[in-house]
Chains A and B, each alone.
Chain A
Amino acid sequence: MDQATLRFVIQLGIIGFTFFMLINASALLVLAERKIMGFMQQRYGPYLVGPHGILQPLADILKLLFKEELRPKDADKWLFTLAPIISVTAAFAAFAAVPWGAETTFFGLLDTPVKLGVADVNVAVLVVFAITSMGVYGIVLAGWSSNSKYSLLGGLRSSAQMISYELAYATTLASVIMLAGSLSLREVVDAQSGYWLGFIPRWYLFLQPVGFIIYVIAGVAETNRAPFDFPEAEQELVAGYNTEYSSVRFALFPQAEYINMTTMSAVATDLFLGGWHGPLLERWGLGWVWFLIKVGVILFTYIWVRWTVPRYRYDQLMQFGWKWLFPASVLNLIATAAAILYFNV
C-alpha cells in the first residue's frame, strides 16, 4: 500500500475508533453509574448478567429494542420522531472537533504524522459549542411534540436552563481561549505541555481554578444531570421531556446524555487538564491513554455528584445561574484579561 492510501485508511480507522469508543462510552457509563450508585448506597448494583454484571448495558439495550414503540395519539408525528434523532446526532457530531491524542506516525508506519481526532478545525472550541447548543432542540421538540403537559414543562425548563447556563459556559471558554491565544483545541492543549518549577504540570487548571469550577458546574447543567436535572425531575414531572417515549426512541435520549457528558469531559480535559500531556506514557506515544484517564476521572466526578447532591429547586437554579455563576464567570474573564495585559503573557 502506498502512503496516500495508507493514510486514508488510517484516517478512516481513527474516525471509526472514535465512533466506536463514543457508543461504548454510553454503555460503559450506564454500567458505571449503576455500579457506583450501588456502591454509594451500600448494595451491589447490577450483578447477574455476565461476570459482576458487566453485560447489564447489553441486556438493557436488547430489552429496549424489543419493546413496543408507542406514540401518543395527538403527538406531532414528524417532530416526535425527529427529536431523539436531533439529540443523538448533535451529541455524536460535537465530538468530531475534539482532538484526543498527539500527532503520531503509528510507530513509523507513516512518513508524515497524522493527528489523533476526527477533524482538526481551527475554530474547534466554537464548533463544539455550536453543535452542543443544537442538542437543546432535541429536548425541547420532544417536550412539545409529545402533547403532554409533563413533557412540555420538561422541555420548557430545559430550554430556559440551557440558555441560562450556556452564558457562563461560553464566558469561561473565552477566558481559556485568551490564555492560549487560539481557538483550536489542539493548540490549547499544546500550550499546556511542560512543567512549572520542574514538577507542576502547566495545566490551565492552575491558572483558571475558578474557570474550571464554573465550567464543570455549567457542564452539569448543560447535560441536564443531577443536581440540575430539572427537565426530567421525576418527583414533579413523571419523567419530564421523555415521558411519552418508549423503546429505541427513548433509548436515544439517555445515550445522547451520556455522550454529551463524555464530550463535556473531553473538552474539559483539553482545556484545563493538559489533554494528552503527562509523564512517561506520552514519551512512548501513548499520550491518549492519559487523555482517557483524565476523561474517566471527570466522568466519575459527574456520577459521584449525581448520587451525592440533592436536586435544587427550580427558582434556585435560575438564581444561581444568573446571579452567581454568570457574574463569577464575567469577573473571571476580566481578571484573566487584566492578568494577561499586566504580565504580558
Chain B
Amino acid sequence: MSETLIFYVFAGVAVVASALVIGQRNPMYSIMLLILSFGALSGLYIQLDAPFVAMAQVIVYAGAIMVLFLFVVMLLNAPQEDAAEWDRTHPLRRPGVARFGALLAGLLIIQLVWALVRVNDASAAVGARGDVAAISSVRSVGRVLFTDYVFAFEATSILILVAMVGAVLLAAREPGR
C-alpha cells in the first residue's frame, strides 16, 4: 500500500515537473524543474530495485549535465535579454512549423497509447522477467556492458569524444593564439 503511494508521489512529481519545464519563461526555472523531475525518476528506479541506475541517473543527469546547462544559461544570461523580440522572430513560431510540431506531438501520444494497450498486465512487466537481481547488481550491469553491448558502448564513447573535440575546435578561435 505505502509502496503504491510512494510510487504515485514520485510519478506525480515527475510528470508535473516535466510539464512545468516547458511552461517557464525563465530558463533557470526550467532547469531546476528538470532536475526535480530527474530526482523523482531516480526515486522510481529505487522502487524498481535498481539503486545503481537511480544513482547513475542523479550523478550523470542531475549532477553533471544539468550543471553544464546551468553554466550555459548563466553565461548567456538569457532571461534579461530581448526575450519578446526573440519569441516573435524565432522560426519555430511560424504557423506552419507549429502545426508540424502539433502533428508530431499527436503521433507521440498515439504511440504511447498503443504501447500501453499492448502491455496487458503492466504491473507484472518488471517482476515477470525475473532479472530483477541482475538489474540491481552493479557487477552484472558492468559485465553485460563490456561483453554483449561492448560495441554500442564503445561507439557511444567515440561519439561523445567526437562531440567534445568538435566543441573545442569550434570554441578555439584561432590556433596558436
Q: Residues of A at under 8 Å CB distance from B?
A: 76, 78-79, 82, 121-123, 126-127, 129-131, 133-134, 136-137, 140-141, 143-145, 152, 155-156, 159-160, 162-163, 166, 183
Question: Is B17 an interface residue when CB atoms closer than 8 A count as contact?
Answer: no
Q: Within the complex, what minimum Cβ distance (angstroms) separates B145 from chain A?
A: 14
Q: Within the complex, what minimum Cβ distance (angstroms) separates A169 from chain B?
A: 12
Q: Within the complex, what minimum Cβ distance (angstroms) separates A240 from chain B?
A: 14
The answer on a CB contact under 8 Å between B70 and A159 is yes
The answer on a CB contact under 8 Å between B28 and A76 is yes
Bound CA span A147–B138, Å: 43
Contact with A along B66-99 (1 / 0, CB 8 A): 0110110011000000000000000000000000
The answer on a CB contact under 8 Å between A123 and B52 is yes
Bound CA span A152–B73, Å: 12
User: Nearest chain-A residue to B137 (Cβ)?
Assistant: A122
User: Nearest chain-B residue to A135 (Cβ)?
Assistant: B63
The answer on a CB contact under 8 Å between B138 and A133 is no
The answer on a CB contact under 8 Å between A123 and B28 is no
Bound CA span A129–B60, Å: 11
The answer on a CB contact under 8 Å between A130 and B71 is no
Tell whether A163 pairs with B52 under 8 Å between CB atoms, given A140-B74, A155-B74: no
Q: Within the complex, what minimum Cβ distance (angstroms) separates B159 from chain A?
A: 19
Bound CA span A123–B139, Å: 12
Which residues of the other chain, B, contact A122 by a CB distance below 8 angstroms?
Answer: 51
Can you report 27 residue pairs joining A to B where beta carbons are below 8 Å apart? Answer: A76-B26, A76-B28, A121-B51, A122-B51, A123-B51, A123-B138, A126-B52, A126-B55, A129-B55, A129-B59, A130-B55, A130-B59, A130-B63, A131-B58, A134-B58, A134-B62, A134-B63, A137-B32, A137-B35, A140-B74, A141-B28, A143-B74, A145-B28, A156-B71, A159-B67, A163-B68, A166-B63
Bound CA span A87–B30, Å: 19
Which residues of the other chain, A, contact B26 by a CB distance below 8 angstroms?
Answer: 76
The answer on a CB contact under 8 Å between B74 and A79 is no
Bound CA span A141–B70, Å: 9
User: Nearest chain-A residue to B68 (Cβ)?
Assistant: A163
Q: Within the complex, what minimum Cβ distance (angstroms) separates B137 from chain A?
A: 9
Q: Is the interface of A mostly helix, strand, loop or mixed?
A: helix
Q: Is the interface of B mostly helix, strand, loop or mixed?
A: helix
Which residues of the other chain, A, contact B59 by a CB distance below 8 angstroms?
Answer: 126, 129-130, 133
Q: Residues of B at under 8 Å CB distance from A?
A: 26, 28-29, 32, 35, 51-52, 55-56, 58-59, 62-64, 67-68, 70-71, 74-75, 138
Which residues of the other chain, A, contact B74 by a CB distance below 8 angstroms?
Answer: 140, 143-144, 152, 155-156, 159
Q: Within the complex, what minimum Cβ distance (angstroms) separates B58 from chain A?
A: 4
Which residues of the other chain, B, contact A162 by a CB distance below 8 angstroms?
Answer: 67
Q: Within the complex, what minimum Cβ distance (angstroms) separates A162 from chain B?
A: 8
Q: Within the complex, what minimum Cβ distance (angstroms) separates B99 from chain A?
A: 35
The answer on a CB contact under 8 Å between B67 and A136 is yes
Bound CA span A300–B26, Å: 43
Which residues of the other chain, B, contact A126 by a CB distance below 8 angstroms?
Answer: 51-52, 55-56, 59
Which residues of the other chain, B, contact A156 by a CB distance below 8 angstroms?
Answer: 71, 74-75
The answer on a CB contact under 8 Å between A160 and B71 is yes
Bound CA span A48–B52, Å: 51
Listed residue (B29, B68, B70) with the most chain A CB atoms within 10 angstroms of its CB? B70
Which residues of the other chain, B, contact A140 by a CB distance below 8 angstroms?
Answer: 67, 70-71, 74
Q: Within the complex, what minimum Cβ distance (angstroms) separates A118 from chain B?
A: 16
User: Nearest chain-B residue to A152 (Cβ)?
Assistant: B74
Known A140-B74, A144-B28, A163-B64; 4 more pairs at CB < 8 Å: A127-B51, A136-B63, A137-B70, A163-B68
User: Nearest chain-B residue to A156 (Cβ)?
Assistant: B74
Which residues of the other chain, B, contact A82 by a CB distance below 8 angstroms?
Answer: 32
The answer on a CB contact under 8 Å between B55 and A123 is yes
Listed residue (A136, A137, A144, A145) with the most chain B CB atoms within 10 angstroms of its CB? A137
Bound CA span A127–B56, Å: 9
The answer on a CB contact under 8 Å between A163 and B67 is yes
Bound CA span A126–B32, Å: 22
Q: Within the complex, what minimum Cβ distance (angstroms) separates B134 from chain A?
A: 15
Listed residue (A82, A121, A126, A166) with the most chain B CB atoms within 10 angstroms of its CB? A126
Which residues of the other chain, A, contact B29 by a CB distance below 8 angstroms?
Answer: 78-79
Bound CA span A126–B59, Å: 8
User: Nearest chain-A residue to B73 (Cβ)?
Assistant: A144
Which residues of the other chain, A, contact B28 by a CB distance below 8 angstroms?
Answer: 76, 79, 141, 144-145
The answer on a CB contact under 8 Å between A130 and B58 is yes
Which residues of the other chain, A, contact B75 by a CB distance below 8 angstroms?
Answer: 156
Nearest 4 A/B pairs, CB to CB: A133-B63, A126-B55, A130-B58, A130-B59
User: Nearest chain-B residue to A155 (Cβ)?
Assistant: B74
User: Nearest chain-A residue to B53 (Cβ)?
Assistant: A123
Bound CA span A130–B26, Å: 26
Which residues of the other chain, B, contact A127 by a CB distance below 8 angstroms?
Answer: 51, 55
